[in-house]
Amino acid sequence: MTKLAQIQNNPLLNISSLPNFELFHVKHIEPAVTQLLSDNRAEIARLVSLTEIPSWQNFIEPLEVIDNRFERVWGPIGHLDAVRNSDEWHKAYTNCLEWVTTYYTEVGQNSGLYAKFNAIVDSLEFTNYTLAQKKVIENALRNFRLSGIALPAEQQSEYQEISQQLSQLSSQFSNNVLKSTQAWSKHITDESLLKGLPDSAKGLLKQLAENRELSGWCVTLDFPSYLAVMTHADSRELRAEVYRAFGTRSSDQAHNTEFDNTDNILKIRSLRHQKANLLGFDQYADYSLATKMAESSEQVLGFLRDLATKSKPQAKQELATLTEFAKTELGIDDFQPWDVTFTSEKFKSVTLSLSQELLRPYFPVESALKGLFEITQKLFGIRIEAQKGVPVWHPDVRFFELIGDNEEVIGQFYLDLYARENKRGGAWMNSAISRWVHPQGDLQKPVAYLVCNFTPPLDGQAACLTHDELTTLFHEFGHGIHHLMTEMEHLDISGISGVPWDAVELPSQFMENFCWEKEGLALISSHIETGETLPDALFESLKKSRGFQSAMMMARQIEFSLTDFEMHAFYNPEHVEEIADLSQRIREEVAVIMPPEYSRFMHSFSHIFAGGYAAGYFSYKWAEVLSADAFSLFEEEGILNPETGAKFKNIILAAGGSVDPMVLFKAFRGREPNIEALLRHSRISV
């Protein structure tokens, strides 16, 4: 069969256009991956065998071609495993994941490739390369070292085996979380149990029941359903039951222990330590920091504990105030973790005349998107328009184009907003296609996936967002513009590629700020019935609410960050500290809310065990310092100042991973970052 015939018979191999999700079938996966890896291996062998002196044109550019092909074929397969999961698809994906991991390890340990890269560095031509080209090569050499290129053959095999196991365990961890989340539900026929829930929340639970062909209402562990109960249900018994189900997912304490991640966590921790040791690092945390802004474990731990010292006294006071309110106003004498969200919402309503439900009608999805796009146009001179007729993986998914000054499309993105069955929880941005100039000179435009899990439209009515959901939308869009507004032409430093993990959150957290500013909200808000923008009184309450229990939230994020980092910085294979003991030790140091003994949050913490945040969850707080300080320039020069926006776009977004992010930050801000803007935005006084 010719190459053309193979492509025609397998739509996954057709990378000449956007992915045709409507044609993809599980039967296409293994043949497509087999062909992809075979073609790539053949091209790598050809490049290694070249006798002429390696150059950008005869060596780097062909490598970019095969890397681009890999993203275009393998990317949609993994994406659909997350947004349209099925047992059949996941099985095929997992089978191929083993082949893909082997392939990546082979490439990272290919001595012929490594020698070619070193020969380029030693060549006269290298001195004339641009900074971006040099960065591509420097990153490649670093990645070779982190893939075990210098190891003896026997240890390279061990590295390959460890990488293979870690890849499979991470996939299994993630799938267990999804399956455990879906395995629990509570069917309710007595409406009195739902006392306190607003109509929007009850409508969601009714729709979930109808989806299961049940009468009444159904509570699930998908986040919109879970949060509705924890925020509004008057019944403490119901809140306690749902809290326990959510907090014990994929653990030995879960209602269904079939998806227990306990062994996966033990194996992942051990294998990560072995991997780091093989590469000459004392701990996995040291390995993780080799590709981050932060320079040492001491620096990270000092940063986190400094934040803890500054925020814990206020967090304790916030909790004491909340506990007293629960006792005097709600009659809750034995305040428990499942009372926190419920009581906080009541307390906010009393003290600030504000609630998520009060704000929700002001943020219809269409108005929120319109405002987001207007802000983007005012700041960056980029227009965003919807496009019809593009193949998608679900009817709810929409497709948009970013259009520049001369009416040229500079990027595109898919938007998948709503929670549903067989879709991974959380919110994320991922690359569908990276910006890149083909060796023949053709520019490949970037495309992104933006995925959220918001409450879907109910009974044919327009969906409205809570303010929390609104900030999530802006956060993921910030990742999106980082990917889409890059001006880089080389694959490995295009968009978020090559950006250190503790800097990649800068644009996303930066964009959240517009959800708190009057100038932004004037464009975003439009009441679902009246079209009225957010009134001044509500805006003032919202502004004050930014500091509402912010120290408690800060303490919680520091707790997660420290647990993650210490887990990877002080691992002792002779005396492994149990994950529950480690979590409790960190809580006693920095937390103010103590969950019950049965809590198993880490068992569903996919960021750490199935994502890219291992020994890197601190990146959220690290980048939040950068984003808050970057936004402070807008506070000084005008929230929607187009000149400041252009500066942010041209320095931070355009550069992708081509320049050290600290250099970029100082070029934008004129100085090194400081923590004061973050503390001020969080209303934490020190």
Residues annotated as catalytic are 476
Of 509, 623, 617, nearest in space to 563 by CA: 617
Q: Are 532 and 288 in contact (CB under 8 A)?
A: no
* CA pair distance 482, 656, nearest whole angstrom: 7
Cα distances (angstroms) measured from residue 487 to each of 401, 481, 482, 572, 655 = 16, 11, 10, 45, 7
Beta bridge partners of 449: 414, 430
Beta-carbon contacts of 635 under 8 Å, excluding residues fewer than 6 positions away, are none
Of 424, 491, 419, nearest in space to 456 by CA: 419
DSSP state letters, 80-148: HHHHS--HHHHHHHHHHHHHHHHHHHHHHT-HHHHHHHHHHHHSTGGGGS-HHHHHHHHHHHHHHHHTT
Which helix (H) or strand (E) segment holds residue 384: the answer is strand 383-386
* CA pair distance 422, 84, nearest whole angstrom: 6
| Dihedral sign computed on CA atoms, order 587, 592, 594, 599 | negative
Where in 130-261 does DSSP place strands (E)?
A: 185-188, 217-220
* CA pair distance 310, 301, nearest whole angstrom: 14
Q: Are 354 and 348 in contact (CB under 8 A)?
A: yes
Beta-carbon contacts of 671 under 8 Å, excluding residues fewer than 6 positions away, are none
Residue with tokens 């001006």: 487
